[in-house]
Amino acid sequence: MNLSYFLILLLNGLTFAGLLFVVASGQTLVYGLLRIVNMGHGSLYTLGACIGYFVYKALENNWIAGVIAGGIAMTIIYLFLQWGLFQRVMSNATQTIMVSLGISWIVQDIVEGITKGESKAFNPEGFFRLSIPIGNMSYPVTRLFLLLVAIIECIILVLIIKKTKIGQIIRAGVDDRDMVSALGINIKAVFLGVFAFSGLLVGMGGVMGGTMNGFGHLQASTMQMYSLMIIIVGGRGDILGAGIAAVVIGLLYSFLTAYLTNISMVLIFAFVMLVMIFKPNGLFGKEVRRS
């Protein structure tokens, strides 16, 4: 096998893993802490990409501004969704899923209307347009930048979760949120903060993913599916587990689509199902305590 081709596949897997981690890491905290399966996460990913795209175009292809705008806009939207909707139904899992599905369908229609059903893509200027040579091939700097962002995010999140007071509260909330609330901690404020942080990541991820693969309403279900895979494989509320799950799924996707294209998704789903059968709480998850 050609070494350059192997390195390209390896980098494709790792950079896709970086995108999956950025998008799904906030979602895994939301699920771990709030027990909310946000079925609108994939659609909101595409909405973040749309908002970032408008700013990117308005500022003459300023890609970083687009990333920041997508993140800030989705932070605000997620704050509103948690405060206005999810906190009112979060005690009922069925209602939560139905509300998030409704959000997903509404946002998909909005994105389809904005993009007129066409796939859009970011083409950054300056440094982010560059590629690095790998043998007789080249590799975009934007993908490597995304991988760097994901690594830095993972390190920062793990340090926050393991070493800070807010991290202790989040870990305790994942294990037993009723006890945390009984200790006088404003668990609703923690919920709101984690949900907003999930929005920040999905908005930034939407722009970076739109640079890698383009974006449109059809990407919503794909990113939703992969986010759920990360939660299932990595474990409820476990950031390091989410990172490892993203790497495994990213590499499987890259190499399987290259060598076993027709059955690549079958094999990826088979892997996820095996995890569900033998490790129902995920590879690194803990059993949920029932109140």
SS (H, E, C) 18-50: HHHHHHHHHHHHHHHHHCCCCCCHHHHHHHHHH
| Residue 56 near residue 62, CB atoms below 8 Å | yes
Cross-strand pairs, 134: 137
Quick: pLDDT tens for 256-276. 999 999 999 999 999 999 999
Residue 252 within any structural domain of the chain: no
Query: Helix, strand, coil % (nearest 5) of the chain?
Result: 80, 5, 20
Residue 184 within any structural domain of the chain: yes
- Give the residue among 98, 112, 121, 113 at the shortest CA–CA distance from 218: 112
Residue 260 within any structural domain of the chain: no
Quick: pLDDT tens for 220-261. 889 999 999 998 998 877 888 899 999 999 999 999 999 999
Residue reference for tokens 């209602």: 95
pLDDT band at 168 (very low <50, low <70, confident <90, very high): confident
HSE-CB of 78 using CA atoms within 13 angstroms: 30
Q: Which two tokens stand for residue 141?
A: 């700097």
Residue 232 within any structural domain of the chain: no
Residue 291's pLDDT is 45
- Give the residue among 253, 258, 234 at the shortest CA–CA distance from 245: 234
Residue 167 within any structural domain of the chain: yes
Residue 271 within any structural domain of the chain: no
**First-last CA distance in the chain:** 55
Residue 31's pLDDT is 82
Helices within 82-186 (DSSP H only)? 87-89, 93-115, 141-163, 165-182
Residue reference for tokens 């999905």: 202
Residue 277 within any structural domain of the chain: no
Give me the number of domains the chain comprises.
Answer: 1
Residue 234 within any structural domain of the chain: no
| Residue 217 near residue 44, CB atoms below 8 Å | no
| Residue 124 near residue 142, CB atoms below 8 Å | yes
Q: Give residue 197's domain range.
A: 21-220
